[in-house]
Amino acid sequence: MPQSKSYRRVMLGRKSVHAAECFAGNFIGAGFGINEDLAGHLPDSWRDFNKEYVPKWMALHPKKSKISAGLSCGALWVVCKGLKTGDIVLCPDGSGSYRVGEIAGDYQYVPGGNLPHRRPVRWLDVSIPRDSMSEALRNSTGSIGTVSEVTAYADEIDRLIGATAAPTIVAADPSIEDPAAFAMEAHLEHFLVANWGQTAFGQDFTIFEEDGEQVGKQYETDAGRIDILAVSKDRKRLLVIELKRGRTSDMVVGQLLRYMGYVKEELAEADQAVEGVIIGLEDDQKLRWAIAPVPAIKFYRYQINFKLIGA
């Protein structure tokens, strides 16, 4: 059955500075320096919104990059338009837990207020302690940025808020060829980010940062969510990294090409090349054939090493 509502983690100001006000006032919101009423300027397409507002955002922040502009305007659109009535939001309270709320209405503009672009929310009488989440959900809710997509963890979130019982049946996803690899690679992304300097990419690339924060992890785009977006230290190359996650070769190659096309068209500066990397557990001849005509894409395998030490 298709997912009928989305689940998002929404930050209420940097380091949740406006969380208490939002909880008391029954709303979530965003700002990003755009101080105008967006009613009538919220198209159904995230891309159409960005075409109008990325230039405005860049004019307000001339020292920032197109990547930062895309991230900010995209998050603003999600808060104002992308979230639908009935969708679920998880918002950090600043003390290690997440308040859970349900979007209760349409966009409102409150000029002069903190987070002036708002949506009314019905806050549930429940909080989720961060340490009660699975590691994968903690990683996703901990990603940098105002908004992160966590719908993939809907079942876990519902259990944590007491909305459903624990599942007894696990449905197979036909796109997953290797369930073991899928399970391991749920943690690989976090490992790569935490140990970036020791990876094959760390010498030449850095995970994209803005104001000292790694916004290149789980970078939300109109084409989908990029696992890792990095930039070369000379700022001449952008690198899109996608984990295979046990999926079919055709699926992961097609997804990476879509992301690279988006980055080239929407984010890259005129002098920046766009490259791609796929990381998987096992060698994959089908994948190697698929990327052979595309020199800008490379395939890397990862290895897992461990040892047992007697007490």
The 10s digit of each residue's pLDDT in 1-56 is 445 789 999 999 988 999 999 999 999 999 999 999 999 999 998 889 999 999 99
Q: Stretch 81-107: mean pLDDT, rounded?
A: 95
Residue 16 DSSP class:
G
Cα(274)–Cα(265) distance, rounded to whole angstroms?
A: 10
- Residues 27, 121 contacting (CB under 8 angstroms): yes
Please name every residue paired with 27 in a beta bridge, in sequence order, or none if there are none.
120
For the chain, the average pLDDT equals 86
Quick check: 305 pLDDT over 70? Answer: no
Number of residues that this document lists for the chain: 311
Instruction: Give how far the C-alpha of residue 11 lies from the chain's centroid of Cα atoms, to the nearest Å.
Output: 13
Q: Can you give the pLDDT at residue 173?
A: 46
Looking at residue 186, its amino acid is: A
Share of the chain above pLDDT 90, in %: 54
Percent of the chain with pLDDT over 70: 87
Q: Output the six-digit token pair for 29.
A: 């919101």
pLDDT at 230: 94
**What mean pLDDT comes out for the span 156-162?**
91
**Residue found by looking up tokens 């159904």 in the block:** 44
Distant-in-sequence, close-in-space partners of 230: CB < 8 Å, separation ≥ 6: 201, 205, 206, 207, 208, 216, 238, 239, 241
Look up residue 197 and give its DSSP letter. Answer: G
From its phi and psi, is residue 267 left (phi > 0), alpha (psi between -120 and 50) or beta? alpha
Tokens of 153: 């963890």
| Domains by residue range for the chain, with CATH | 7-160 (3.10.590), 179-301 (3.40.1350.10)
**pTM score:** 0.73
**Beta partners for 299?**
278
| Mean pLDDT computed over 191-210 | 88
- Cβ proximity of 272 and 238 under 8 Å: yes
Contact 120, 84 (CB under 8 A): no
Q: Which residue has the higher pLDDT, 97 or 224?
A: 97
Degrees (nearest 5) of the Cα angle 92, 96, 97? 55
pLDDT of residue 172 exceeding 60: no
C-alpha to C-alpha distance for 23 and 122, rounded to whole angstroms: 9
By the 10 Å C-beta count (0-12 exposed, 13-18 middle, 19+ buried), 162 is classed as exposed
CA 149 to chain centre: 6
Query: Strand, coil or helix: what is 83?
Result: coil
CB 201 within 8 A of CB 230: yes
In whole angstroms, give the CA distance from residue 34 to residue 277. 35
Q: Which residues contact 137 (CB under 8 A, 6 or more apart)?
A: 150, 153, 156, 157
Paired tokens of 165: 């019982």
Query: Under the phi-then-psi rule, with left for phi > 0, alpha for psi from -120 to 50, and beta for the rest, what region is 173?
Result: beta
Dihedral through CA 197, CA 199, CA 200, CA 202, nearest 10?
Answer: -20
Summarize pLDDT for 253-302 with one digit per residue, the tens.
999 999 999 999 888 988 999 999 999 877 888 899 999 999 999 999 87
Residue-level pLDDT at 171:
39
Q: 66 pLDDT band (50/70/90 cuts)?
A: confident
